[in-house]
Amino acid sequence: MDETALTPVPDVAAESPTVANGGMSPDGLVYRIRLRQGVMWDTDPPREVTAEDFVRGFKRMCNPVASAGAIAYYTSTIRGMAEFADGYRREFAGRTPSAADLASYQNAHEISGLRADGDRTLVVELVRPANDLLNLLSMMFASAAPREYDRFVPDSAEFIANVRSNGPYRLTGYENGRFLTMERNPVWRQDTDPLRHQYVDGLDVRMARVDDDRVREAIRSGEADLSWGAPVISEDRRPRTRTGISGTR
């Protein structure tokens, strides 16, 4: 296996934090992650992604309605995040909060080990040194969240209809188990994104439980470009690979 495929690389971050570049304290307990300039949300009007958006993303991860499945990785690593998550759950125990309720709690409470130092530096303080912190920060759970998300309950239909993008494509339609469509994000710029490109005009993913013969025929006929999620064995036994879509940055 190519080990470089498993090594996190800077994305919205301008560089990987190290002791040498001032991004990590010598004891491994404090990270200062500098963000790349010019990465934009496709909001109206477009707005630059900030460190505060990442703080909001971590807070939303702890919400009691649809919390992140991998939240234990973060609550056991980032100082004060376990306490924040516990308080969030207790606040709404036995009742269903509205989007306004969630935003009110989230914006009135802080995670002690997480803060924005200006618009372009995210400071993360750890419970103990963690060699895998960059891997945790590269997972989709740790994505930034624009302030517009405060208007929606996480994972609700309203949220899905208003997902914002800072990558090369943006969501135009989604129905769980049926389809996902994306178009080019007009505010994305190649010079702010060393990892991705806008090679195609859009993406159209159709989801259905069909047998391999149906998938193979769709590819052969040009109805589909590739398959998604699992290998499909061609007639000469050579594998074709289903490729997944990882989301909008």
Along the 249 residues of the chain, how does pLDDT read in single tens digits?
556 677 889 999 999 999 999 999 999 999 999 999 999 999 999 999 999 999 999 999 999 999 888 899 999 999 999 999 999 999 999 999 999 999 999 999 999 999 999 999 999 999 999 999 999 999 999 999 999 999 999 999 999 999 999 999 999 999 988 899 999 999 999 999 999 999 999 999 988 887 788 888 888 888 888 887 666 665 544 443 333 333 334
In single-letter form, the type of residue at position 189 comes to: R
- Residue showing tokens 């477009």: 46
Angle (deg, nearest 10), helices 51-61 and 99-108: 120
Q: What is the pTM of this model?
A: 0.87
Instruction: Collect all residues with Cβ–Cβ distance below 8 Å to 13 and sequence separation of at least 6.
Output: 33, 34, 35, 36
Q: Answer yes or no: are the C-beta atoms of 117 and 54 closer than 8 Å.
A: no
Angle (deg, nearest 10), helices 99-108 and 81-91: 140
Confidence (pLDDT) at 209:
80
Q: In what order do the strands lie in the sheet with 202-206?
A: 169-175, 179-184, 202-206
Phi-psi region for residue 239, left (φ > 0), alpha (ψ -120 to 50) or beta? Answer: beta
Residue 71 exposed, middle or buried by CB count within 10 Å (0-12, 13-18, 19+): middle
Work out whether strand 47-48 and strand 179-184 pair parallel, antiparallel, or are unpaired.
Answer: unpaired
Instruction: Collect all residues with Cβ–Cβ distance below 8 Å to 237 and sequence separation of at least 6.
Output: none
Q: Answer yes or no: are the C-beta atoms of 35 and 50 closer than 8 Å.
A: yes
Rounded to the nearest angstrom, the gap between the alpha carbon of residue 150 and the centroid of all alpha carbons in its chain is 16
Percent helix, strand, coil in the chain (nearest 5)? Answer: 30, 20, 55
- Closest-CA residue to 84 (of 113, 47, 126): 113
* First-to-final CA distance of the chain: 24
Sign of the dihedral defined by the CA atoms of residues 208, 213, 214, 217, in that order: positive
